[in-house]
Chain A
Amino acid sequence: MSAYPHGPPDSQEPLDILENPPGSRGPQVGADEWVARQAGRREYLPSWLGTTQRQFERIGFWPKLAIVGLAAAVLPAVGLGGFQLQVGIDTLVIVLLALGLNIVVGWAGQLDLGYVAFFGFGAYAFALLSSAQIGAHGIHLPAYLSVPLVLIGAAALGLLVGWPSRRLVGDYLAIVTLFFGEAFVEFTNNVAPSVLGGPNGITGIDPIRGFGLQLNSNTGYYYLLVILVVLTMAVLRRLDTSRTGRAWRAVREDPLAAESMTIPVNRVKLMAFAFGAVVAALAGTVFAAQQISVFPTDFDTPVLILIYAALVLGGAGSIAGAATGALVVMIIYDGLLRNGNYAGYLFYGLILLTLLVKLRPWRRLAAVLAATAALGFAAHAVARAISASAVAGGPHSTGWVGAALRDWVIVPANAQTAGNWGYVLLVCLLIALVQVSSRWRTILLPPTLCLASFVWETKLSVEPAITRQLLIGAILIVMMNARPYGLLGTRRVETPI
């Protein structure tokens, strides 16, 4: 019998109605390619920025990697030195760590919160094999022996941690691995203090050496890290486009479907854990050798948060994203905020930039800026008239920023207490600012800006350790609102379960 008594419907006919008029090019409205093209259009920035973005994307992975590698190699030659070189080294270590975390979190989709322990394991294992800690004279293996040993150990440890957690998903996996990470810190703090050194860590670690060569300078370590990062990225790219990479991503997308499509989900997860652990341990060995010392606090939760921040900011699931995220986070975290003046430029620069972008029309912008300046000078004059000690502190910023702010921002003699109160008030004002209507927002903006500057000069720039955490948090919040899939991540849709 026929399913259609009046004959099968012609599959072409109804579609023709939707066809674009003759002469027009492009897919018909509503069809898959049309939808994809519309979605793709929204992915890019407007105007020439989007065009540049597209051109950039047309360059393949390998040329891009070569360009970035060369650019990184040239940097020390054009004057990156001293403090900046140390920042560069720290950044590259975090880049390596983010690349490793990308395997576990970005590709295999396993929320591993114990990841930093593999970094610590690599550093401690290298330290033990390259110092006077064990035995009468210590073990002083050359790098070509110790590093492979450490990496094999890390892979084994990755499997060991992955084995009991391979059936856990989501929150359960996160809490179990977080426990593992904390256990590592406790272990190094308390177990066998004569070997592991307890809170005092291990010092006097050999530099990377072998075949008669020895890395003594920071420049050497910088180049070593550039080579390692480029190599790791190349390896990961090849893995990503292989059957293993596809299996990892399939497991992330839908474990049940992956299992039904011949993918052994548990084994694939274990492989991701092992690969992530190896990359983290590699970063650990270089870190230990370059620092000459390792301490338990080097591998505590703040470092984990930093790596996660880098990966999320850059875009989980993308090699270039992980590296870029690490670069951005570390330059803000380390480069700008360890130096008070750089931090000031960043702080005031970001505020001005936000105002420029968000305040329209320009008359409103001009009014707000003028009002802010006037309010500051007026308040400063009034405060000075009342009591000289109210402005005795002077701004914490030095250089031209400090000079410009001297008669504008009020910094009392006992800046600490005032700063604390100002901080609380600033948070209240900021909350109010996002709640009130547009007109009130304009009126509230000048006092808020004055207060922000006050809090910066009295509190935030004085305590960079706290400030940089706050700043990273603020940047992450703003970023995740603007681009939820990270700087270089591709748009993601949630898989319905």
Chain B
Amino acid sequence: MSTDEQPGQAGNPPPGQHGPGADGEPQAAILSLDQLSLSFGGLRAISQLDLQVDDREIVSVIGPNGAGKTTVFNVITGVYQPSSGDVRFAGRSIVGQPPHRIARLGIARTFQSLRLFLNMSVLENVMAATYGGTRATPAESILRLPRATREEREVRALAEEILSFFGQRLAGYRWDQPAYSLSYANRRRLEIARALATRPRLLLLDEPAAGMNPVETHEVTELVGRLRDERGVAILIIEHDMHVVAGVSDRVVALDHGIKIAEGGFDAVAGHPAVIEAYLGRHPEDLAEAN
């Protein structure tokens, strides 16, 4: 996916105007963060962050360690409540909703430090995430009433279909193995599969390529593109591997100390002085000039 923004759009857009969706016409954004702030005591983890993800768009969030990237994910998914500002998903504010309801609305996530249901089978991991999408009561399940059996059949089919999406990597004979027997890369794939089982419209991927070798990293790049193209989800992705970020992003947002320091196409953001400064610090000559 090529980036069609102009380099001039990089940097903090003026207030009230976010990203490419704000060209005067009503926004098609599926997710929009509006002046979002979060403080832990005196620490401002996120400061007045504006961020927008359009339907079927892939947006990358980059920034040095401790920039507040995962915290943004935690606020979007309802794990943390924002101190101020709003999170709107598909036009509705979702602030204050419990995480399971937000997930039910269509926001699924993966975790930076893997959080699989390790002692459940691969298939069960995926099927467990369909809980919110099914309705059978325990009594119906015990008596195998029509709704329970139908849902069970559908859920199994969905899980198998999602696992098949990952091709040979999560092939059939592994589905009954416990998740802990999977290799690291496959655990990451399974987390994405599990997130897909909630039937999301927006997928939050927290460092999907962390700890992967170059081959696997390349596969992640392809996978993220396929997720959008074949499953039609919008994706907000945190990633440190710049190959992945360059390969998948429609748009890149750079954070530092919870503040958005740059936004736009990959090349523009990667070359933005504020981003370079956040990652590398200031050049000694610049420091001397400033003094």
Measuring CB to CB, which residues of chain A are less than 8 angstroms from any residue of chain B?
A: 1-4, 8-9, 11, 14, 31-33, 35-36, 39, 235, 238-239, 242-244, 246-247, 249-250, 253-254, 256-265, 271, 275, 317, 490-493, 495-496
B197: chain A residues within 8 A (beta carbon) = 261
Residue of A nearest to B214 (CB): A9
What are some 11 contacts across the A-B interface (CB < 8 A)?
A3-B246, A32-B177, A32-B183, A243-B130, A243-B134, A244-B141, A246-B128, A261-B103, A262-B131, A263-B100, A496-B113
Q: State the Cβ distance, A29 to closest chain B Cβ, in Å.
A: 13
Within 8 A of A (CB), among B76-123: 77, 79, 98-100, 103-104, 108-109, 111, 113, 115-120
Cα separation A262 to B103 with both chains bound (whole Å): 5
Cα separation A256 to B104 with both chains bound (whole Å): 15
Say yes or no: is B133 at the interface (Cβ < 8 Å to chain A).
Answer: yes
Residue of B nearest to A247 (CB): B131
Say yes or no: is B287 at the interface (Cβ < 8 Å to chain A).
Answer: no
User: Are B141 and A246 neighbours in the complex by a CB distance under 8 Å?
Assistant: no
Q: State the Cβ distance, B233 to closest chain A Cβ, in Å.
A: 16
Q: State the Cβ distance, A403 to closest chain B Cβ, in Å.
A: 52
User: Are A254 and B119 neighbours in the complex by a CB distance under 8 Å?
Assistant: no
Residue of A nearest to B148 (CB): A242
User: Are B118 and A253 neighbours in the complex by a CB distance under 8 Å?
Assistant: yes
User: What is the predominant secondary structure among interface residues of chain B facing chain A?
Assistant: helix
Say yes or no: is B212 at the interface (Cβ < 8 Å to chain A).
Answer: no
Residue of A nearest to B199 (CB): A262
In the complex, identify which listed stretch (B15-23, B25-33, B215-223, B255-263) lies at the interface while the others stay far away: B215-223
Cα separation A9 to B222 with both chains bound (whole Å): 12
User: Are A260 and B181 neighbours in the complex by a CB distance under 8 Å?
Assistant: no
Cα separation A254 to B219 with both chains bound (whole Å): 27
User: Are B129 and A33 neighbours in the complex by a CB distance under 8 Å?
Assistant: no
Say yes or no: is B151 at the interface (Cβ < 8 Å to chain A).
Answer: yes
Q: State the Cβ distance, B166 to closest chain A Cβ, in Å.
A: 13
User: Are B243 and A3 neighbours in the complex by a CB distance under 8 Å?
Assistant: yes
CB-CB under 8 A for A11 and B218, given A247-B131, A253-B120: yes
Q: State the Cβ distance, A483 to closest chain B Cβ, in Å.
A: 16
Cα separation A3 to B183 with both chains bound (whole Å): 25
CB-CB under 8 A for A259 and B100, given A3-B247, A254-B116, A493-B118: yes
Cα separation A271 to B137 with both chains bound (whole Å): 11
User: Are A490 and B215 neighbours in the complex by a CB distance under 8 Å?
Assistant: no
- How many B residues face the partner with a CB closer than 8 A? 59
Cα separation A469 to B113 with both chains bound (whole Å): 43
B117: chain A residues within 8 A (beta carbon) = 249-250, 253-254, 257-258, 495
Cα separation A496 to B222 with both chains bound (whole Å): 29
Cα separation A493 to B179 with both chains bound (whole Å): 10
Complex partner residue of A242 from B104, B109, B152, B178, CB under 8 angstroms: B152
A32: chain B residues within 8 A (beta carbon) = 174, 177, 181-183, 186
User: Are B132 and A262 neighbours in the complex by a CB distance under 8 Å?
Assistant: yes
Q: State the Cβ distance, B290 to closest chain A Cβ, in Å.
A: 33
Cα separation A3 to B224 with both chains bound (whole Å): 14
User: Are B115 and A257 neighbours in the complex by a CB distance under 8 Å?
Assistant: yes
Measuring CB to CB, which residues of chain B are less than 8 angstroms from any residue of chain A?
A: 77, 79, 98-100, 103-104, 108-109, 111, 113, 115-120, 124, 127-134, 136, 138, 141-142, 144, 148, 151-152, 155, 173-174, 177-178, 180-183, 186, 194-195, 197-198, 214-215, 218-219, 221, 243-244, 246-247, 266-267
User: Are B120 and A260 neighbours in the complex by a CB distance under 8 Å?
Assistant: no
B198: chain A residues within 8 A (beta carbon) = 261-262
CB-CB under 8 A for A36 and B219, given A242-B152, A262-B132, A495-B118: no
A275: chain B residues within 8 A (beta carbon) = 138
Cα separation A36 to B177 with both chains bound (whole Å): 7
User: Can you list the 10 inter-chain pairs with the closest CB atoms, starting with the nearest?
Assistant: A262-B132, A242-B141, A3-B243, A253-B117, A261-B129, A257-B115, A36-B181, A3-B247, A246-B128, A250-B128
A258: chain B residues within 8 A (beta carbon) = 117, 128
Additional pairs, 6, CB under 8 Å, beyond known A36-B174, A250-B128: A243-B141, A259-B98, A260-B99, A260-B103, A261-B131, A263-B132
CB-CB under 8 A for A253 and B119, given A238-B141, A242-B148: yes
Q: State the Cβ distance, A212 to closest chain B Cβ, in Å.
A: 28
User: Are B186 and A254 neighbours in the complex by a CB distance under 8 Å?
Assistant: no
A262: chain B residues within 8 A (beta carbon) = 100, 103-104, 129-133, 198
User: Are B243 and A265 neighbours in the complex by a CB distance under 8 Å?
Assistant: no
A247: chain B residues within 8 A (beta carbon) = 128, 131
Complex partner residue of A260 from B109, B148, B266, CB under 8 angstroms: B109
A35: chain B residues within 8 A (beta carbon) = 181, 183
Complex partner residue of B246 from A1, A8, A490, A492, CB under 8 angstroms: A1
A257: chain B residues within 8 A (beta carbon) = 111, 115-117
Cα separation A263 to B116 with both chains bound (whole Å): 14
Cα separation A264 to B243 with both chains bound (whole Å): 37
User: Are B221 and A261 neighbours in the complex by a CB distance under 8 Å?
Assistant: no
Q: State the Cβ distance, A152 to closest chain B Cβ, in Å.
A: 13
CB-CB under 8 A for A3 and B218, given A239-B138, A261-B103, A490-B119: yes
User: Are B243 and A4 neighbours in the complex by a CB distance under 8 Å?
Assistant: yes
User: Are A261 and B180 neighbours in the complex by a CB distance under 8 Å?
Assistant: no
User: Are A263 and B131 neighbours in the complex by a CB distance under 8 Å?
Assistant: yes
Q: State the Cβ distance, A229 to closest chain B Cβ, in Å.
A: 16
User: Are A246 and B243 neighbours in the complex by a CB distance under 8 Å?
Assistant: no
B103: chain A residues within 8 A (beta carbon) = 259-262
Residue with the greatest number of chain B CB neighbours at <10 A, chosen from A3, A239, A496: A3
B181: chain A residues within 8 A (beta carbon) = 32, 35-36, 39
Cα separation A264 to B244 with both chains bound (whole Å): 34
Cα separation A376 to B217 with both chains bound (whole Å): 72
Cα separation A249 to B179 with both chains bound (whole Å): 13
Residue of A nearest to B244 (CB): A3
A253: chain B residues within 8 A (beta carbon) = 116-120
Residue with the greatest number of chain B CB neighbours at <10 A, chosen from A9, A31, A265, A271: A9
A250: chain B residues within 8 A (beta carbon) = 117, 120, 128, 131
CB-CB under 8 A for A1 and B131, given A35-B181, A36-B177, A242-B138: no
Q: State the Cβ distance, A394 to closest chain B Cβ, in Å.
A: 54
Q: State the Cβ distance, A227 to closest chain B Cβ, in Å.
A: 16
Cα separation A14 to B217 with both chains bound (whole Å): 14
Residue of A nearest to B125 (CB): A250
A2: chain B residues within 8 A (beta carbon) = 247
CB-CB under 8 A for A264 and B115, given A238-B141, A242-B141: no
Cα separation A492 to B178 with both chains bound (whole Å): 9
B177: chain A residues within 8 A (beta carbon) = 32-33, 36
User: Are A243 and B155 neighbours in the complex by a CB distance under 8 Å?
Assistant: yes
Complex partner residue of A243 from B99, B151, B214, B246, CB under 8 angstroms: B151
Cα separation A408 to B186 with both chains bound (whole Å): 64
Residue of A nearest to B129 (CB): A261
Cα separation A246 to B109 with both chains bound (whole Å): 19
Cα separation A263 to B120 with both chains bound (whole Å): 15
Q: State the Cβ distance, B90 to closest chain A Cβ, in Å.
A: 16
Q: State the Cβ distance, B248 to closest chain A Cβ, in Å.
A: 9
B174: chain A residues within 8 A (beta carbon) = 32-33, 36
Residue of A nearest to B180 (CB): A493
